[in-house]
Structure 1
Amino acid sequence: MHYILRKESAITGEKNYEVLASYDFPLFCGCTNEKEEEDIIARCEFGIFESGSIELLKLIPLDLLYQNGHGAGAVGALWQKHHEEFANFLMSFKPKSVLEIGGGHGKLAKECLKLDEGLEYTIIEPNSSTKDERINYIDGFFEKKALEGKKFDLIAHSHTFEHIYEPNKFLNECAQMLLDEGGGG
């Protein structure tokens, strides 16, 4: 497998680290009908940098990692409450346009649209499986260039940041895509 090798901390930029742990694991953990012999085995290697930051050193290419989507879209009462409360929080800023990064199943979008039917809502997601006609979908990974110079009042991501390989670049690109420093209304 061809890994993306992290040679410096994605957070601090420092280059000195020690390997903290290294082990093999099946790339697609979970319930499957595939034979165990057909599993793709990847090497998980964590490093600890001098600052104390612990980071993955061998990253799986995103197109391979997310080729089958991420998350089933089924939620129980606790997750439903989470989406409702997060939507209430986001909509308290009175945005006219929202970009959700990694919106997957669209649960958060639907909760926001219940609160404002006129809201312009966009989801960027590599494998959006169920699409709602009220939501603009961009199939792909988040990159500023994928959004063709669009700007938004509010950018949201929920349970996505841990999947970001370059967090500083990600946050800078998000900031550049906000209209008037964000917040809407």
Structure 2
Amino acid sequence: MTLDLAPIFDWCPYVDVLCNTAGVLDEYKPLLEQSAQEIQEIFEINYITPVELTRHYLIQMLENKKGIIINMCSIASSLAGGGGHAYTSSKHALAGFTKQLALDYAEAGIQVFGIAPGAVKTAMTAADFEPGGLADWVASETPIKRWIEPEEVAEISLFLASGKASAMQGQILTIDGGWSLK
């Protein structure tokens, strides 16, 4: 792996709230259609990068006896079908990391949460809105009959980061329009 996060740490030396939101899809490919290299690249972005960003900033949070970490886990972190093999596996790993981190550092004053969005209109899902894409099908299969707006996920993030969730720890909040009810 060629993961070099030093430029990020130089650009942003300290955080009170860390939101690990980067992610990449895998074209819904099953295992036998993904190379080891493709799987490694997806895990590097979806799992290893959040772990290493957290490792760096957690040290500072522990020194200050406070901090909030929010991981974007995806509905693929708790069910199959939200992505292909690598995406789903990497998001399951991120959910496990979120819960274990929450348990390990709760007494130190570090709050850890996950957010599990379903289909959200973002650059990552732009191809779904191309002709022949999945946008209409996804909306029709979602109980609320629409995609999630990015602002809706941002509102949950803001609540978790606000300090108003002080009695919560380790929860992964689902915002999927009811997709996971099916």
Q: Same fold (TM over 0.5)?
A: no
> Which TM-score applies when normalising by structure 1?
0.31
Structure having the larger proportion of residues in helix: 2
Q: Relative contact order: is structure 1 or structure 2 higher (C-alpha 8 Å, sep ≥ 6)?
A: 2
Please, what TM-score do these two structures have when normalized by structure 2? 0.32
Rg (Cα) greater in structure:
1
